[in-house]
Chains A and B, each alone.
Chain A
Amino acid sequence: MDGVGVNIAFWVLAVVTIGAALGVMAARNLLHAVLFLILTFIGVAGFFLLLSAEFLAMAQIIIYVGAIAVLVLFAVMLTPHAGQSNSETKMALPAGLLALCLAAIFVFVLTDTDWSSVGSAPSVGVTGLGDALLSTWVLPFEMASVLLTAALVGAIMLTRNPEDETPEADA
């Protein structure tokens, strides 16, 4: 994949993604922040497309934009007064400076390094991904499922109202 169009697409996506990420930080209204977050996710999906990882791009959109962002939106909208009282913190200035330092370090390191680039994109389709997940990477895959189960159990446990549950009631 080479050419002017790809380059232009890259820079447009970069500006959109980083701009949206800054928007998440800067927005005082939580709802706006979530919307910016969705834009960031879409930008990342765009990068996946540029890298010929169509499946990942789709997964990114379905999972992050479709599920996670919507979940966050629900949570924000169900929370009373979520849109208010998000005043400025004293952290803004030091945090900004720190972020700049971090960015400077990364820019320096990224330009300084001799990256080993691959000539052409590996053609890994859905089949290849599935094979990999259930052969070489079966252990992390299964660990992830255990992790999700544990998180689910924990989430239910934390949100359950203590008053609902008495030892006698469910006996």
Chain B
Amino acid sequence: MGADQAWILVALPAAAFVVLALCGRWLPRQGDVLAVLAIGASLVLYFFVLHDFLHQRDGLVNSHEYWSIAMHHTWSNVGNFNLNFGTYVDPLSAVMVGVVTIAGTLITIFSIGYMKGEVRYWWFFAVLMGFIAAKLMLVLSDNLLLLYFAWEGVGVCSFLLIGFYWEKRSAAEAAKKAFITTRIGDVGLLIGIILLWKATGTFNIQDILTAATTGQIGHVYLFVSLMFIFLGAMGKSALFPFHVWLPDAMEGPTPVSALIHAATMVVAGVYLIARLLPAFEVVPASLLVVTIVGLVTAILTGFMALATTDIKKVLAYSTIGQLGFMYIALGCSHPDAAIMHLMTHAFFKSLLFLAAGSVIIGTHHNQDMKQLGGLWRKMPITAVTFLIGSLALAAVPPFSGFWSKDEIFHGTTAWNGGWVTFLLGFAAVLTALYTTRLFVRTFLGKPQDQAVYDNAHETGPVMVLPLIILALITCVAGFTVFNGVGRAMGFPGGFTEFVFLHEPERFVMNWSWAAASAVIAFGGVFLAGWIYWGNRITISTRLADWQPGVYNMLVNKFYFDDLYQAGIDRGLLGFSYVVSWFDRYVVNDTGVDGVADTTRYSGSILKYVQTGKVPAYALGIALGAVGLAIAGLVVRG
């Protein structure tokens, strides 16, 4: 089992998907064992692939050379149009596969406990396997077309997961919203892929990157295609202005699907941009766009998270915000920082979602902060693990979030003037604020609803165990930036020395940056503690009194949903109604209408001719012919 057989990692969950979807219902235990086996085998094989991959590097003369293992088969070809199917393993995809298989295995095991007794139990596991297979194919694909398939596959599976409780109207609506919103981005991605392919004649990612970096594609053309591709990433990652779908997507089975969406699916966009980053770097303007979109997203969702009381939605907003951080890192040409944050975020956000799920189960399906509070005493393990996750999210040292965010801060110096650093700092303060608010209002203070408090209890071991494991990982994952840690694990060095595109970057502890970002984090935490713990919650009510407009704007998520709904209603549907009205009343019914209703067959056939419809159609045909003929003659002239 070597790195060139990496396709097996995809094939296992895909096979499980097929088996479960077709006959999962009739398998013993509805096939959950099969799902766990498939993803577990993928996880085990991943370590073989990784080992082989690292081993192949040893053969290189220059230990700091970029290396990768690619292989492909011909899929179809016509004339000069070849399609290859292949896998591409490099440090970037190796890390991504690791995140997906580890998270996937944990989610699958956790689901056995969480989904117990649900209707369509087998269907959930089938879709879960499909999702993981598509996601693995996405990160392993060596060409943009296959990547696009996987991209759509991920989208379809997430649509099915969000709409899992399709009996619930809000779930069906949320599924539709997610699908349509991401689909807009997907069209952009497809256009971008087509444009790149038009310019280079290949779908192979490395060939395209070579063409872009050697200047074979015009800069304006490249910029336009990359922006289309970025559109796809924005849709999938729920970046501003596509952020509307993710909070609603929390309608899926809690917190499993939430976890899939938050920790796994949305980072597909980050991976895509990181993969194509060398092309982005050719056109600095595109990096600027990525940075700005990341900043706007991070700050905007920070405010929204502060005005939301549903704990899962707060986590959803924080996910979008953290994705914004990753895009900022990408915009600063620091894929290592972005992927590092991606990895740490995957772990601490999984922890937070699972802990939130534990809260929801423990309080009998209560997820509104207004009714929680003081749960510290009732659910100690959940509270402690949640606290660890929160501290990581708020980037408090020494938890993992601190190290990765520190790397991003460090990277922002790429932009002159320090405005990116400043705005990023502001977003980080917001993060610390809403994270602390979330923790304080859920676990500390006085219970807001005595009945809920009295019935609350700690959840069972199946749910608590993953929490503890994830909490431990969250505590230590950040240390992988250190060279010693990385080397001890068998990697060439620290995280930033493993994931790189041009030059590996040796991690150097920069005390002033670390201190500054620690101050920001602590500042945010203390500020929020002062406001929310010190019983100054009324500050938000005061804001509502003082500036109702601002408060409503926050609560209504800046009115983006209403805007989009209006756009779809008035724009697209309006247009088609106008056209159909034209068809119905102008084209069809000139003359006497209602053919079938008014006439009897026994009478004259000629009556049908008299109804006006047929002459109108005939006129249309003749008009078309005459129009074409005139156009043809004029063009010829």
Contacts and interface: CB of A to CB of B under 8 A. Distances in A.
A91 B612 contact: yes
Q: A81, A85, A98, A108 — which one has the most chain B CB atoms within 10 A of its CB? A: A98
B119 interface: no
A108 B623 contact: no
Nearest to B605: A79
A95 interface: yes
5 contacts: A79-B605, A90-B612, A102-B626, A105-B633, A108-B633
Interface stretch (B427-435, B495-503, B614-622): B614-622
A89 B615 contact: yes
B434 to A, nearest CB: 66
B263 to A, nearest CB: 64
B630 interface: yes
Give me the 9 closest cross-chain CB pairs, A-B, nearest first: A91-B615, A79-B604, A101-B626, A105-B629, A98-B622, A102-B626, A90-B590, A90-B591, A89-B591
Contact of B606 (A79, A94, A102): A79
Nearest to B627: A101
Interface string A21-34: 00000000010000
Interface string A81-96: 1100111011100110
Interface in B581-637: 590-591, 603-606, 610, 612, 615-616, 619, 622-623, 625-626, 629-630, 633
Interface in A57-82: 79-82
A88 B626 CA distance: 24
A91 to B, nearest CB: 5
A95 B612 CA distance: 12
Given A80-B604, A82-B606, A95 B630 contact: no
A163 to B, nearest CB: 12
Given A94-B619, A105-B630, 11 more contacts: A79-B604, A79-B606, A82-B606, A89-B610, A89-B615, A91-B590, A95-B619, A102-B626, A105-B629, A105-B633, A109-B633
A105 B626 contact: yes
Contacts of A82: 604, 606
A23 B616 CA distance: 21
Contacts of A94: 619
A91 B604 contact: no
Interface of A: 30, 79-82, 85-87, 89-91, 94-95, 98, 101-102, 105, 108-109
A91 B613 CA distance: 10
A101 B622 CA distance: 10
A87 B591 CA distance: 11
B618 to A, nearest CB: 8
A168 B29 CA distance: 56
Contacts, number: 44
B445 to A, nearest CB: 77
Interface of B: 590-591, 603-606, 610, 612, 615-616, 619, 622-623, 625-626, 629-630, 633
Nearest to A87: B610
B622 to A, nearest CB: 5
A97 to B, nearest CB: 10
Contacts of A85: 610
A98 B626 contact: yes
B616 A91 contact: yes
B604 A98 contact: no
A86 B610 contact: yes
Given A80-B603, A90-B591, A105-B626, A98 B610 contact: no
B140 to A, nearest CB: 57
Nearest to B616: A91
A98 B622 CA distance: 8
Contacts of B629: 105
Nearest to A94: B619
Nearest to B615: A91
B260 to A, nearest CB: 59
Contacts of A108: 633
B610 A91 contact: no
A81 B626 CA distance: 35
Contacts of B591: 89-91
A91 B590 CA distance: 8
Contacts of B623: 98
A89 B612 contact: yes
B174 to A, nearest CB: 50
A81 B604 contact: yes
A86 B633 CA distance: 38
Nearest to A98: B622
A79 to B, nearest CB: 5
A90 B615 CA distance: 10
Contacts of A101: 626, 630
Contacts of A80: 603-604
A90 B630 CA distance: 25
B609 to A, nearest CB: 10
A100 to B, nearest CB: 10
A112 B511 CA distance: 88
Contacts of A90: 590-591, 612
Nearest to B630: A105
A38 to B, nearest CB: 19
B421 to A, nearest CB: 69
B622 A102 contact: yes
A158 to B, nearest CB: 10
A29 to B, nearest CB: 13
Contacts of A30: 606
A49 to B, nearest CB: 31
A115 B615 CA distance: 34
B635 to A, nearest CB: 14
Nearest to A92: B615
Nearest to A30: B606
A80 B610 CA distance: 15
Q: B590, B606, B610, B633 — which one has the most chain A CB atoms within 10 A of its CB? A: B606
Nearest to A109: B633
A107 B263 CA distance: 72
Contacts of A102: 622, 625-626
Contacts of B626: 98, 101-102, 105
A120 to B, nearest CB: 33
Nearest to B612: A89
A105 B615 CA distance: 22
A105 B623 CA distance: 13
B630 to A, nearest CB: 7
Contacts of B605: 79
Given A89-B591, A90-B591, A91-B612, A98 B603 contact: no
B353 to A, nearest CB: 66
A104 to B, nearest CB: 9
B585 to A, nearest CB: 13
Contacts of B606: 30, 79, 82
A150 to B, nearest CB: 20
Contacts of B625: 102
Contacts of B603: 80
A101 B626 CA distance: 7
Contacts of A79: 604-606
A103 B74 CA distance: 56
Contact of B615 (A81, A86, A95, A109): A95
A138 to B, nearest CB: 33
Contacts of B615: 89, 91, 95
